[in-house]
Structure 1
Amino acid sequence: MVLSRLKAVFILVMGLVVSLWGRAADLTPAFHKTYANNSLLTVEEQILLRQFDFYLVPGILSEAFLQADDRSSVSFARLTGDYLGAQQELLQKVYKFNSVRLSSSSKSVKEIKENIRKALNQSVDAGRKAVFLTHSLGGLALLEELVDSSNLRDVVAGIVFLQSPFRGSPIADAYFDNPIYLDKLLGTVIPFFNTSPDTIRYLGTSSRSQFMKENFEAITAITNIPMITVGGVVNGQKSLFTPAVNIMAMGCLEKVFGQCVVRLYSGPYDLSDGMVPFESSKLPGVDFVRLDGADHGETVVNIPFQRYDKARTTTTLLRLLLPSLNPL
């Protein structure tokens, strides 16, 4: 009897999951059509969006890609520009929106969540709603904060999640579980980037899958907020992330005579942006965009092999999100 009831519950839940996934629309064709127009937001669109507060939430290693952030002993910002810098300049200087790039942390997800909470409370005090543009770890922190703080969900008018590994990243798994002891080799290096093993473990598939399972109801409620998830796919194309792309696509850096000599990951295999499998970047019931040729770094900093202009991409995503934004 108990087993029969458990089976019935399982079938019900799986049916709900399938139903939610069916609700999601593939906005990729609409994205490319709008992106090709290469036009700024109209005056009318800008007026509509100016009523919102915009918050940018960077992901892991952001400290090393921000000139004003001295928490990392290593900085690449002079070479790559600031993390989400193009997006911030577009929103602040071109559109004159109230846009703030929140401080992220590669060492503490709790700290990112606290910064998100403070920002939302500021919007509440000002009688405004918020639109979020997040990347990678920043998106996970936002989702978790909205799970924990249900009272703040109504403050959020809309969200764009760029390349967040909602079901985890196999690269984080490979850091701890591999035959070449990467965690030992890199363990003395990551503190210089203000990064901790706890954060890497947080990004792993076990941690994220467990979170999604345990908070299924809350996440389902949160997806009523207008949002778009964006995932990149760079398989077979030039990218600084090619070694990681190969690991997630076939389990190793290179195959010899069709076989992995040193297997770093045992699957399931997927297309990816070099850090996040494409399927992991999607949420049940949420509209999504697939950026073919976009790796995990090019959407937020300036690195080789860029295929998408950051300002045009941001304008396009805002234009797609605008019709469904929750008004004041």
Structure 2
Amino acid sequence: MELLEEHKIPFKRIIVESEAPVKENARFIKSKLDKIKGPLLIISHSKGGLEFLEVLINHPEVKDRVVGWVTMQSPFRGSVLADYFIDGTVTKTLIGWAFYLLGGDISGMQSVGTAERKKYMSEHREEVMKVLGDVNFLQFITFIDAQDGRESLLESSRNYIYNRVGRNDGMVDIQSALFKDEQYIIVNDVDHLITVLDQERLDFYKDGNKSWDFDRIKHFRALIQLILEKKI
């Protein structure tokens, strides 16, 4: 955001309720985009990628305005971490209550489970392929391997996912985030949170590992340049 402000580039940050289902948030995003005039350059993070895909599939008038779309660490094929929480009786009950208190329900978690995403991708295969063919699209995917010391706030979830499906960023595995087998960048030593959280707020965890030295401004600038210049 600082980069855009510095260059006086107009932007709109759309904040959605993470606990809400994909379809519900997609409707909210669409309502916000309707108030923005002109071409759209979209950068979506995590579940936001699924929600914007839903917008593109159902609203071709939005798709026609998109000059570029960058997805960051989005679980297009679902999250095995979400499966863990929704499959167990105890964890499902606890998560259900937590979502209720936050104003949502467990369907928000279920909407990013692997079973739900597999069903969605199968039912909407033609629409998805058309979107991918029509939109200038770049996937930013990360993973973080085990290192000496504390390399991530998401070590425990990273290990859980790794033991089931392989390399991941602590929340999303590479294969889930790899929506299309082209137009992608995969970066090591970057977890799911460091791309969006303020680095200064994490200094108390820093122990010299390079994973904590991620430069969000340079990363953001590079992604914008790549998607607009199509150098991928």
- In the superposition, the TM-score normalised over structure 1's length comes to 0.61
Deviations 1:45-95 (A, max 9, x none): xxxxxxxxxxxxxxxxxxxxxxxxxxxxxxxxxxxxxxxxxxx2221x212
Give the secondary structure class of the aligned counterpart of 1:222.
helix
Q: Is the 8 A contact 1:172 1:200 kept in 2?
A: yes
The residue type equivalent to 2:7 in the other structure is Y
Q: 1:299 offset after TM fit, Å?
A: 0.6
CA contact (8 A) 1:120 1:155 kept: no
Higher relative contact order (CA 8 A, sep 6+): 1
Q: Tell which structure's C-alpha radius of gyration is larger.
A: 1
Q: 1:141 to 1:209 in 2, by over 3 A?
A: same
Distance (whole Å) between structure 2 residues aligned to residue 100 and residue 188 of structure 1: 32
1:169–1:275 CA contact under 8 A, matched in 2: yes
Match for residue 62 of structure 2 among 133, 152, 174? 152
Distance 1:271 1:285, change over 3 A: closer
Structure 2 stretches lacking a partner, 5+ long: 206-210
TM-superposed CA distance for 1:195, in Å, is: 4.8
**d(CA) in 1 for partners of 2:154 and 2:35?**
38
The residue number in structure 2 matching 1:246 is: 159
- Give the superposition deviation at 1:218: 1.1
**2:83 paired with 1:173:** yes
What is the Cα-based RMSD across aligned positions, in Å?
Answer: 2.0
The yes-or-no answer on 1:234 pairing with 2:130 is no
Tell whether the 8 Å contact from 1:134 to 1:160 is kept in structure 2 after alignment: yes
Distance in 2, matches of 1:143 and 1:249, equals 26
Please say which of residues 307-316 and 108-117 is displaced more in the overlay: 108-117
CA displacement at 1:136 relative to structure 2 = 0.7
Please state how far the C-alpha of 1:193 moved relative to its aligned partner.
Answer: 4.4
Distance 2:95 2:230 in 1: 44
Aligned partner of residue 295 in structure 1, secondary structure: coil
Superposition deviation, residue 290 in structure 1: 1.1
Identity of aligned residues (%): 27
Counterpart in the other structure of 1:282? 178
Any gaps of 5 or more consecutive residues in structure 1?
Answer: 1-87, 251-266
Matched, 1:296 2:192: yes
What corresponds to 2:40 in structure 1? 130
* Distance in 1 separating the partners of 2:169 and 2:230: 27
Deviation at 1:191, TM superposition (A): 3.9
Q: Secondary structure at the match of 2:229?
A: helix
Query: Once the 2 structures are TM-superposed, how far is the Cα of residue 106 of structure 1 from its aligned partner?
Result: 2.2
Matched with 1:116 is 29
Cα 1:296/1:195, change in 2 over 3 Å: farther
2:17 aligns to what? 105
In 2, the alpha carbon distance for the partners of 1:234 and 1:215 equals 31
Distance (Å, rounded) in 2 between the aligned partners of 1:173 and 1:191: 18
Of residues 308, 315, 323, the one that matches 2:214 is 308
- How far apart, in 2, do the equivalents of 1:319 and 1:144 lie? 25
Amino acid at match of 2:175: E
Question: Which of 216, 227, 230 is equivalent to 1:321?
Answer: 227
Partners of 2:77 and 2:179 within 8 A in 1: no
Cα deviation per residue 1:116-173 (whole Å; 9 max; x = unaligned)? 22343334xx3x1100011011111000111111232111111110100000000000
Q: Alpha-carbon deviations, 1:282-313, whole Å to 9, x = none? A: 12244111121111111111334523111110
SS at match of 1:296: coil
**Matched ranges for 1:36-55 at <5 A:** none
CA contact (8 A) 1:233 1:292 kept: yes
Report how many aligned residue pairs link the two structures: 216
